[in-house]
Amino acid sequence: MSLTGGIILFAVIWFLVFFMVLPIKLKTQGDVDQIVPGTHAGAPHEAHLGAKVKITTAVTVVLWAIIATVLLSGMITLEDIDFFGRLRR
């Protein structure tokens, strides 16, 4: 895995984890009955984005380290996941 591949892998994992963390402990304006005029009742009351970004980054670092270790050690190679035999030479 190259440096660019590692960075791209980190970014992909980060966004996947971020979208999974976003709805955790979400309170909408409709839930707390404080709807700001001009907004939807399903809009977040408090998003807590700073905490969610920190959680996402911590989880991503762990997942990225595991995946990078597996890829760099050679435990799983491209030939292992080539189910249709299209990548063999």
- The pTM (predicted TM-score) of the whole model is 0.80
Tens-place pLDDT, residues 13-53: 999 999 999 999 888 888 888 889 998 988 888 888 999 99
If 0-12 CB within 10 Å is exposed, 13-18 middle and 19+ buried, where does residue 63 land?
Answer: middle
Tens-place pLDDT, residues 44-61: 888 889 999 999 999 999
Give the whole-angstrom CA distance, residue 87 versus residue 38.
55
